[in-house]
Structure 1
């Protein structure tokens, strides 16, 4: 993996959604590193272990679902907030949700850890909007 390889983490309890997101990322960017987690707690453990003592030039993009059975995306963000600044600074977090609740969208936009709210399913158009063409 080269330094310029875009890195993505997907946290979503829906395996089909993760598959679609990975496919869109690969088709949109070519060579990318995508790691997905069905269990948000496993993603948190991975992030803490993998990024505690590392530093990346390019940010890792994390797509986070809101509605998951063990902990919600909001609870994930609260736990993520407890990580060291060196870990948090390596990530750009986007909510990736099928929720159309305006309160969820507004809450995401108000959260300082979240860059933006993206509606599922992830699409090439959304990626162009987020990262440019």
Structure 2
């Protein structure tokens, strides 16, 4: 799709979705860097501790599932909000969920940090929606 290096952070408790998404992203971009987490708390710790998360080509795309055990995507977003603005501003957040509940979609759309609510599975059409 493009030659610029793209950075992705996948947070989904289902390792199969993370695997499939990584394969699709690697096939879709010439240069891609992907970090993935099945434990949301580890994803938050990664965000907090990473010193230079962005490539020179833009923000990191965070694809976040909402229906996860222990902490949900909504709780992840609350914890993310506690980070310094210099960290938060380095991410474009998309909810990537199998939920068809309109209240989930409305909740995502009402969060100023969430750019869009995307339905699983990730596919080329969704990537075109994100990157144009």
Same fold (TM > 0.5):
yes
| Superposition CA RMSD, Å | 1.1
- 2:128 paired residue number: 128
User: Quick one: structure 1 residues 55 and 20, their matched pair in 2 at CA, closer, same or farther if it must change by over 3 Å?
Assistant: closer
Distance 2:53 2:39 in 1: 25
Point out where structure 1 has 5 or more consecutive residues left out of the alignment: none
The alpha carbon displacement at 1:26 in A equals: 1.1
Point out where structure 2 has 5 or more consecutive residues left out of the alignment: none
The alpha carbon displacement at 1:30 in A equals: 2.3
TM-score by length of 2: 0.92
TM-score by length of 1: 0.92
Q: Which moved more, 1:21-30 or 1:86-95?
A: 21-30
Deviations 1:46-66 (A, max 9, x none): 100004xx4734100000000
The alpha carbon displacement at 1:130 in A equals: 1.4
User: Quick one: structure 1 residues 14 and 55, their matched pair in 2 at CA, closer, same or farther if it must change by over 3 Å?
Assistant: closer
The alpha carbon displacement at 1:5 in A equals: 1.6
3-state SS of 1:130 partner: helix
